[in-house]
Amino acid sequence: MSDTHLELTDATFEEKVLNSDGVVVVDFWAPWCGPCQMLGPILDEVSADLKDDNDVTITKLLVDDNPQVTEKYQVTSIPTIGYFANGELIDQTLGVLPKEAIMAKISAAKKSLSK
């Protein structure tokens, strides 16, 4: 996974995700997870496509080092992607998804911002 995504920790999760006014995409991952390695480049593409969108932040959380957040959101399999809007988890997907599916989830999350 590249370093283009904001790296979250148990300590920074509240500030960077729960207190955010936009959409935050959280990639729950681990370096030993093969599917996580496959998802990384897809999220890089999503991040590049959305680089000018100030309402969307792509992040990652290493599950091995951050058990509090991992447990709170009941992440038992990885990769899991959490879609947060205005600090609230509104959707979660499991496994490697195509870029189009991730973009659709982000679009849906953005629509919930205006409610």
Which residues form the catalytic set?
A: 33, 36
Residues constituting the chain: 115
CA–CA distances in Å: residue 34 to residues 4, 38, 80, 92:
19, 7, 13, 19
CB neighbour burial string for 60-92, b if at least 16 within 10 angstroms, e if fewer: bbbbeebeebbeebebeebbbbbbbbbeebeeb
Nearest to 59 by CA among 32, 81, 31: 81
Cβ count near 44 (within 10 Å):
16
